[in-house]
Amino acid sequence: MKKTVIVLTILSLFASCKDTTNKKVETTLSKEVDSLKQQIIQVAEFKGQQVTGVTVSGSGRIFVNFPK
């Protein structure tokens, strides 16, 4: 009985958290992506190695990750 109540509570929480403003967010994101397309510049190339992660710090430094 307790498990059923917990499951129903969790399901009702998920249902109540549904966001109805997805269209506005998607429109804003698509505009940002369009403006970023013009700013992509290749700064490095790796041959024979698989890059598994890339990030850029706030100061502009680029970090990459390779598997061992």
Query: In sequence order, which ranges of the chain are alpha helices (DSSP H)?
Result: 2-16, 22-37
Structurally, the chain folds into a number of domains equal to 1
Higher pLDDT, 36 or 15: 15
- Largest distance between two CA atoms of the chain: 59
> Which range marks the domain in which residue 17 is found?
2-65
Full-model pTM? 0.38
Tell me the β-bridge partners of 56. 62
- Per-residue confidence (pLDDT) for residue 42, from 0 to 100: 83
- Cα–chain-centroid distance for residue 22? 15
Mean predicted confidence (pLDDT) in 40-66: 88
- Per-residue confidence (pLDDT) for residue 29, from 0 to 100: 60
d(CA 37, CA 42): 12
